[in-house]
């Protein structure tokens, strides 16, 4: 996507509104330095750097005593690098985090509520604000969100003479017709290295369940809702409605049925993954499936302030500017993400992104729990065991819950 910039004057107006009282930051004649760590949200490194250089230039005109430095690091091992920097007192003032990272670093994070105006906080979508809040406090200011609704291949649907499913029952109803024509109804990556955020958790939420109990003291995925979700998946696997090879490994994408135009619908991929294989004209976006409720996974990226920030006042002013609607709108359009704020309106007027944008309020972020990723590590192999016939859904989820509760400390 072509990089789109917002004029500095517009950004300054947004910053003034977002920062409330404004000010240059720091005290007296001392110049304050604010460092921010980001990752390749805009894939083209030169465009990414150019974007933030322009925002820094606009901000500096109104805050001449604040020197902002944006550093872009690789996605790989970013948690380890941040943990090492915190331990060595070399951490940045602000850092890009996603929700399931926040609990891990919660002791080192300064809640951002006091650095954002009431209007700025109210502007966030409810599901976005909830996804970054711990004990009612915002642990980061969101700057983008993604969406994994239901994406279908119209060519496959037409070849089998079926409509896109809306519910789990619809999936089970069209699956035999698709199989008869040589197609899979969906795909499911059961290899333990695949994230459950995009695979099993949406089904768990659709069944009315959650990964953890409300107080976070125990696993909740082994309740009747989780069993229902895993039983649904197992039915698809047992009847050959999904690609068998994906249950035990992750082949090169071009070797999968999805890339070969043999899958009707998926919630595990986005248009950018399949456009070169399906053709843009065949990509159709629909709301997430409904079990007892309708929900999908939506990634959320936010800027968090660390408690060790050298000047929290200066960092807070840059935070408010960098997460203002004018800046996020430009950033999200440049990176093909979506805005977490209501006031920005639609970023896309046509195509798959425009349809995905309509589903944002149905998206759920990753679980906010300090052991979220560790629990995923013990749950994923058990789901796989159930799908390849080694355990029943009940046994697999109970075994995973026992291991998860041990990690949680129960």
Give 268-293 pLDDT, tens digit per residue: 999 999 999 999 999 999 999 999 99
pLDDT at position 410: 61
- 3-class state of residue 153 by DSSP: strand
Domain of 276, CATH number, reads: 3.40.190.10
Parent domain of 196: 152-295+371-408
- 275 in the same domain as 400: yes
- Whether 168 and 187 share a structural domain: yes
Average pLDDT over residues 378-406: 98
User: What is the predicted pLDDT for the residue at 30?
Assistant: 81
- For residue 216, being part of any structural domain is answered with yes
Could you tell me if 200 and 189 are in contact, meaning their C-beta atoms sit under 8 angstroms apart? no
What is the tally of structural domains in the chain?
Answer: 2
pLDDT at 29: 59
- In a domain? residue 268: yes
The 10s digit of each residue's pLDDT in 222-244 is: 999 999 999 999 999 999 999 99
Residue 292: DSSP 8-state: S
156 has a pLDDT exceeding 70:
yes
Q: What is the pLDDT of residues 121-149, one digit of tens each?
A: 999 999 999 999 999 999 999 999 999 99
What are 68-87's pLDDT values in tens digits? 999 999 999 999 999 999 99
| 358 and 219 belong to one structural domain | no
For the segment 306-349, what is each residue's pLDDT rounded down to a tens digit? 999 999 999 999 999 999 999 999 999 999 999 999 999 999 99
Do 103 and 118 lie in one domain? The reply is yes
First to last CA, the chain: 48
Same domain, residue pair 247 and 267 = yes
The answer on 160 and 78 residing in a single domain is no
Give the per-residue pLDDT at 109. 97
Looking at the fold, whether 322 and 336 belong to one and the same domain comes out as yes
Specify if 63 maps to a domain: yes
Which whole number is the average pLDDT over 22-36? 67
Let me know if residue 215 belongs to a domain. yes
80 with 43, same domain: the answer is: yes
Cβ neighbours, 10 Å, residue 114: 10
Strand-strand pairing, 150-153 and 283-286: antiparallel
Q: Could you tell me where the DSSP H helices lie in 239-324?
A: 271-278, 312-322
Mean pLDDT of the chain: 92
* Contact between 45 and 11 (Cβ < 8 Å): no
Containing 228, the helix (H) or strand (E) segment is helix 224-238
The predicted-structure confidence for 199-213, as pLDDT tens digits, reads as follows 999 999 999 999 999
Cβ(233)–Cβ(188) below 8 Å: yes
280 or 12: which carries more pLDDT confidence?
280
- The H or E element containing residue 137 is strand 137-138
If asked whether residues 97 and 243 sit together in one domain, one would say no
The tens digit of pLDDT for each residue in 248-265 reads 999 999 999 999 999 999
Indicate whether 1 belongs to any domain: no
CA distance 368 to 404: 15
Confidence tier at 27 by pLDDT (50, 70, 90): very low
**8 has pLDDT over 60:** no
């Amino acid at each position: 996507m072509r990089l789109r910039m917002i004029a500095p004057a517009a950004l300054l107006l947004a910053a003034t509104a977002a920062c409330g009282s404004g000010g240059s930051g720091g005290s007296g004649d001392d110049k304050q330095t604010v460092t921010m760590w980001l990752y390749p949200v805009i894939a083209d490194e030169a465009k990414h750097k150019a974007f933030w250089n322009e925002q820094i230039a606009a901000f500096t005109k109104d805050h001449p005593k604040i020197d902002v430095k944006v550093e872009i690091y690789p996605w790989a091992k970013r948690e380890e690098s941040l943990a090492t920097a915190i331990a060595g007192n070399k951490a940045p003032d602000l850092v890009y985090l996603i929700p399931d990272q926040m609990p891990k670093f919660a002791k080192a994070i300064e809640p951002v509520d006091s650095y954002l105006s009431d209007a700025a906080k109210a502007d966030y979508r409810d599901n976005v604000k909830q996804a970054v809040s711990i004990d009612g406090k915002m642990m980061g200011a969101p700057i983008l969100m993604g969406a994994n609704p239901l994406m279908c291949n119209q060519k496959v649907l037409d070849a089998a003479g079926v409509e896109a499913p809306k519910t789990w029952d619809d999936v089970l109803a069209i699956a035999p017709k698709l199989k008869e024509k040589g197609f899979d109804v969906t795909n499911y990556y059961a290899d333990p290295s695949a994230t459950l955020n995009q695979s099993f958790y949406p089904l768990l939420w659709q069944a009315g369940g959650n990964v953890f109990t409300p107080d976070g003291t125990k696993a909740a995925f082994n309740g009747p809702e989780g069993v229902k979700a895993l039983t649904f998946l197992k039915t698809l696997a047992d009847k050959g409605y999904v690609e068998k090879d994906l249950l035990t490994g992750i082949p090169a994408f071009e070797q999968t049925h999805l890339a070969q135009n043999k899958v009707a619908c998926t919630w595990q991929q986005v248009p950018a993954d399949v456009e070169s294989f399906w053709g843009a004209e065949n990509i159709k976006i629909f709301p997430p499936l409904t079990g007892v409720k309708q929900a999908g996974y939506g990634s959320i990226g936010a800027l968090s302030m660390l408690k060790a920030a050298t000047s929290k006042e200066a960092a807070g002013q840059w935070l408010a500017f960098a997460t203002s609607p004018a800046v996020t709108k430009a950033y999200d359009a440049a990176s093909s993400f979506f805005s977490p704020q209501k006031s920005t309106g639609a970023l896309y007027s046509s195509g798959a992104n425009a349809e995905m944008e309509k589903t944002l309020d149905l998206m759920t972020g990753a679980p906010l729990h300090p052991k979220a990723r560790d629990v995923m590590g013990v749950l994923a192999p058990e789901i796989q065991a159930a799908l390849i016939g080694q355990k029943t859904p009940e046994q697999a989820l109970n075994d995973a819950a026992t291991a998860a509760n041990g990690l949680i400390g129960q």
